[in-house]
Amino acid sequence: MPPQTLESRLERLEKRVTRLEQLPGRLDDLTSQVSQLRTEMRAEFSAVRHEFTATMAEQVGGLATQMRVLHEDVIGRIALLQEGLSGASKRRPKKK
């Protein structure tokens, strides 16, 4: 590799310094973009959490209604069975 002239070395050094001087501005831009991304993600996560909570509340409410209906159905069936057993024991003579 042939030795570089002082002039070419100085040019390369000036280019490096220019690029280094641009770094703080680029870093500020990147910091701003990350901050904006965090804000957007926070808003989106909040919206998803809200939607999830609303959906779960709706499903739990529906489940509670179904459970109540099933409970009332079971109670009604038990009452019918008890009536059937009471009626059968009244109709049937007792064995001695």
Query: What is the band of 91 on the pLDDT scale with cuts at 50, 70, 90?
Result: low
51/33 Cα distance (integer angstroms): 27
Mean model confidence pLDDT for the chain:
91
Mean pLDDT, range 20-34, rounded to an integer: 95
- How many helices (H) and strands (E) the chain has is answered by 1, 0
